[in-house]
Chain A
């Protein structure tokens, strides 16, 4: 145990001292801060897109409601999404010529006051039930067209209904009619809340976390062992410690590195969440602690990580370059992509039979059972898959130990036949 911990400590310190560790530690928070900051800055600093709205219908009945719809404040910052501006030039009487008249501003050749670009021009024309809207813009994502269509349609329908004898007051009352929808939780028979949906979301998040821990941790292990193999350190280690001590020491050390990064990210996230959304943070904490869910996740996390980390470490012991490792890694990488395909399915339809089947296949068990936590899988499935998982981990670690010893002492390239022979001979 002493040697195992010493090897783990060396692994941990070796990675924590590298620039790459600190870059990866800071990359996510910095990246997120950059994205959020940049989008916030853009939203705060950029004025809403300027739109020219021309109503050529009799009585100009659309001008006011459409302007109101476009300039209603919205979004996180409660700011108007669009600004309706006066035409920068006297518009021709011919509706079809309006676009041509505004072309210099729409194309950016001329600017509005304040050097702003004209984002779009909407020309509403026609009358009665033959109202049309001409849209002049090269920005299809402006978001104004849908609002204008809806507002104009409402007005057209209102005109028709009023003409049919329905008073505007009645119409307003009719428009206000809508069903009251209530979400009920099948588990608690009470009104559903965010808390009811959280286990599913947390299960999905935990499965993705497991996947990323395996992917990054196993990658670090693989590269570390390849470096040790190529620099001939492995034979020195083997003469100083047992194979399980080396194997588990490395796995533990790299797990420490991975969990340090995730711990810092999670800690920062939890801190921010408790500051800005304390109620939701409390809900997440309650879900994780209720019914031992956190231990359920921890079990599959440890099993999954041990299984894949041992395999990657053993593969690394046979290779002196990453290129050599790639040929042996191919099947493992394919295995690792399959859970990702099914994880989102587990969030939307946790009872899909395919997920049940995959849960019994050991390489996928940790991901699937973690993601299915929300759907309360039957106890016999939890116990059954858990037992198979434990047995698989024991077998994989045993084989990986033999492979690690054989790989560490081998020279030259190892093909599949040679690998099997070495495993059988324990050499």
Chain B
């Protein structure tokens, strides 16, 4: 079997509320899977079921050959959404303790902890109490604690939240390295750019239901390309251009407009542009935009996963 994690029609209900509804997907061994959705989509509930922290209401889970993460917890690394470490411990002590729970002997855990802290630029902080570290440093310590036992499956719940851009970049490097070393990485996020950079395979979740399961390119292909035109031209002018399927317009003030023209399948926008100039339409700025995963998410789920909504996304919607 090629799957490290498989969910088959899994549901989770809290009383009358259905947090996860009939969810199925597979995470292949040695790959990075992005588990995407807005806050409240059911990502954390799903990951908790995978780990065996909460029971499945319906369906079946297979984690590294086990029905949930409890019996294979030593082979899983987990970074929870809400980070927490013993504040009065030093990074080395905290990592050694958590590695010990996963079966790593203390001496080996200490050696790995020091090496990994050094790699992450925390060599000088390794003997300070965690409460004395910055938030970013503490998050790095927590990540090391989650992977120090060299797990086969790494589950990261919103790993990028609260990190500055530099640390986000570092984390992306760590995730890539884990996959290169053979680990399967499943990470949840509502920030699509990370998934776009890291994953080939994504699962999109909205209101507890799966909206998409497949390759990133496949998700992007579900969204039409968009031609953005800004100037004094009117919506009616844009609608009549060849290859344009629909137009979303936004006033920029002083008689200027931004028209986001969703293109028909196969249309490349060149023809529309040529026609617009040939017709002498007042165009002060134009841009041909490739769809992003964020755009795909909006199209596929009808929801905006985060604050970084794009013009192409608006057009597609």
Verify A241–B84 contact, CB threshold 8 A. no
For chain B, give the interface size range. Answer: 20 to 34
Binary flags per residue of A1-21, CB closer than 8 Å to B gives 1, else 0? 011001100100010010000
Residues of B within 8 A of A232 (CB): 80, 82-84
**Interchain CB contact (< 8 A) of A10 among B73, B82, B83, B97:** B97
Instruction: Mark B58-82 against chain A: 1 for CB-CB distance below 8 A, else 0.
Output: 0000000000011001001010101
Interfacial residues of chain A within 227-242, with CB under 8 A of chain B in the complex:
228, 231-242
Q: Determine the chain B residues whose CB is within 8 A of the CB of A241 once the complex forms.
A: 73, 101
Q: A409-B54, A427-B55 are in contact. Are A228 and B88 (CB under 8 A)?
A: no
A228 touches B84 (CB 8 A): yes
A29 and B93 CA atoms in complex are apart in Å by 33
Known A-B contacts A409-B53, A427-B55; the reply to A239 vs B86 at CB < 8 A is: no
Interface size on A, residues (CB 8 A): 26
Q: Is A426 an interface residue (CB 8 A)?
A: yes
A342 to B263, CA, bound (A): 85
Task: Report if B98 contacts A (CB, 8 A).
Answer: yes
For B53, the chain A residues whose CB sits under 8 A away are: 235, 238-239, 405, 409
Chain A contacts of B14 at CB under 8 A? 425, 427
Smallest Cβ distance from A136 to chain B, in angstroms? 63
Residue A421 lies at the interface, judged by CB distance under 8 Å to chain B: yes
Known: A231-B87, A235-B82. A240 touches B102 (CB 8 A): yes
Task: Report yes or no: A231 in contact with B15, Cβ–Cβ below 8 A.
Answer: no
The answer on a CB contact under 8 Å between B78 and A236 is yes
Q: Which of B55, B76, B84 contacts A233 (CB under 8 A)?
A: B84
- Against B, the Cβ 8 Å flags (1 = close, 0 = not) of A410-427 are 000000000001000111
Is B51 an interface position by the 8 A CB rule?
yes
Residues of A contacting B84 with CB < 8 Å? 228, 231-236
Closest chain B residue, CB of each to CB of A427: B54
Q: Is the CB of B97 within 8 A of A231?
A: no
* Highest count of chain B CB atoms <10 Å: which of A6, A10, A235: A235
Which B residues lie within 8 Å of A405 (CB)? 53
Please give, as numbers and ranges, the residues of chain B lying within 8 Å of A17 by CB-CB distance: 88
Whether A14 and B88, one on each chain, are in contact in the complex, defined by CB atoms closer than 8 angstroms, is yes
Is B85 part of the contact surface with A, judged by Cβ < 8 Å?
A: yes
Shortest beta-carbon distance, A74 to chain B, in Å?
A: 54
Decide if B114 is an interface residue (CB 8 Å cutoff): no
B86 close to A14 (CB less than 8 A): yes
**Residues 154 to 203 of chain A near chain B (Cβ within 8 Å):** none
Distance of B46 from chain A, by nearest CB (Å): 14
Contacts of B51 in A (CB 8 A): 239
A239 to B78, CA, bound (A): 7
Q: Point out the residue from B80, B100, B145 that lies within 8 Å of A235, measured CB to CB.
A: B80
Identify which of B85, B89, B98 gathers the most chain A CB atoms within 10 Å of its CB.
B98
* B48 contacts the other chain (CB 8 A): yes
| Residues of the A chain whose Cβ atoms lie less than 8 Å from the Cβ of B87 | 231
For the complex of A and B, 7 pairs with smallest distance between CB atoms = A232-B84, A240-B101, A233-B84, A239-B78, A232-B82, A235-B80, A231-B84
17 contacts between A and B (CB under 8 A): A3-B101, A6-B100, A14-B86, A231-B84, A231-B86, A232-B83, A233-B86, A235-B82, A236-B80, A238-B53, A239-B53, A240-B73, A241-B101, A242-B70, A405-B53, A409-B53, A425-B15
